[in-house]
């Protein structure tokens, strides 16, 4: 059993125990007002129970999705149908079609605000964070690449949350600066992998081109192979297939791009 799931079950039992103990002491389960002080155990029990429940749901539903070839599980929409009323936090929604991480409140529709709140709950857990990015990163990048202009804008807003704004996937934010001594950070690598995870058509799609531009890279379809190279130093490049047949071509090129950036001097 996954240790987080086991720990979550244990927390749920502890929470139930505290609720029952509190009920036997106060004669009720939980309340507020004058009796709040006497019911603190019940309140604490419910909080512990909910934390345990979240751990179970989060670890189970993410693991059920990661590594599978299931159809698209995520879509996005504007609840105001393009109107400018309200903030993006309240208008922009992610619709979870499956049983992914964010289905913890009985709803498959998650606002940008709630997405941020759910992300804040797991951001300090490296394992859960990596899995969340694997699940939602690739799905949102696909929407940004293949959806309408509005869907692209919404997907990019959710990606900003998912990667904490450290690496903006929006091209207009300018080139990304990296420490050449340290190389790419893990979030930077995750962004690149997500962009290429969907495959390679022999040329970069919109999402892949966005990432390449941010790192000062470009693609050219030479014969018999294409190449991805630094604009400032074309001698630093990796080769690409113009007619890929390997289903893993995108993942392989993403890995090559990461290696190119880490190991090459762009100047």
pLDDT of residue 115: 86
Q: Given this model, what pLDDT does residue 252 score?
A: 92
Compute the distance between CA of residue 99 and CA of residue 248 in angstroms, rounded to an integer.
26
Task: Tell me which of 50 and 238 has the higher pLDDT.
Answer: 238
pLDDT over 90, % of the chain: 10
pTM: 0.47
Contact 217, 257 (CB under 8 A): yes
- For position 98, what pLDDT does the model report? 62
Q: Are 84 and 54 in contact (CB under 8 A)?
A: no
Question: Residue 228 has what pLDDT?
Answer: 95
Has residue 54 got a pLDDT over 90? no
pLDDT above 70: residue 38: no
Confidence band, pLDDT 50/70/90 cuts, at residue 114: confident
Alpha-carbon span 137 to 6, nearest angstrom = 27
Across-strand partners of 90?
none
**pLDDT confidence tier of residue 58, bands split at 50, 70 and 90:** low
Mean pLDDT of the chain, nearest integer = 74
What is the per-residue pLDDT for 169?
Answer: 45
* DSSP character at residue 224: S
Q: What is the pLDDT of residue 32?
A: 42
Residues 6+ apart with CB under 8 A from 260: 217, 228, 230, 236, 237, 238
With cut-offs at 50, 70 and 90, classify the pLDDT of residue 184: confident
Give the pLDDT mean for 140-163.
Answer: 82
Low-confidence winner among 23-32, 66-75, 206-215 (lowest mean pLDDT): 23-32
Across the range 224-236, mean pLDDT stands at 90
pLDDT of residue 219: 95
User: Please, which pLDDT band fits residue 81 given cuts at 50, 70 and 90?
Assistant: confident
Place of tokens 């079609």: 97
pLDDT number for residue 188: 78
252 close to 202: Cβ distance less than 8 angstroms: no
For residue 175, pLDDT over 70 is answered with: no
Residue 113 pLDDT greater than 50, yes or no = yes
Tell whether the model's pLDDT for residue 126 goes beyond 70: yes
């Amino acid at each position: 059993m996954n240790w987080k799931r086991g720990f979550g079950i244990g927390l749920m039992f502890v929470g139930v125990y505290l609720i029952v103990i509190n009920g036997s002491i106060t004669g009720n389960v939980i309340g507020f007002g004058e009796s709040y002080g006497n019911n603190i155990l019940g309140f604490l029990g419910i909080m512990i129970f909910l934390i345990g429940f979240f751990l179970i749901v989060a670890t189970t539903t993410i693991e059920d999705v990661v590594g599978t070839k299931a159809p698209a599980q995520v879509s996005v929409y504007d609840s105001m149908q393009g109107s400018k009323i309200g903030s993006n936090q309240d208008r922009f929604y992610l619709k979870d079609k499956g049983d992914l991480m964010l289905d913890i409140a009985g709803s498959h529709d998650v606002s940008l605000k709630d997405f941020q709140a759910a992300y804040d709950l797991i951001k300090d857990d490296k394992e859960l964070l990596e899995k969340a990015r694997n699940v939602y990163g690739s799905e949102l990048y696909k929407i940004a690449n293949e959806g309408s202009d509005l869907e692209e804008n919404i997907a990019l807003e959710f990606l900003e949350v998912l990667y904490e704004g450290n690496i903006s996937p929006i091209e207009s934010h300018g080139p990304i600066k990296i420490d050449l001594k340290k190389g790419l950070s893990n979030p930077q690598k995750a962004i690149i992998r997500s962009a290429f995870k969907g495959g390679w058509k022999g040329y970069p799609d919109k999402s892949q081109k966005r990432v390449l531009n941010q790192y000062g890279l470009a693609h050219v379809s030479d014969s018999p192979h294409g190449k991805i190279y630094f604009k400032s130093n074309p001698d630093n490049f990796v080769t690409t297939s113009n007619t890929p047949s390997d289903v893993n071509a995108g993942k392989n090129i993403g890995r090559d791009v990461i290696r190119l950036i880490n190991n090459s001097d762009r100047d």
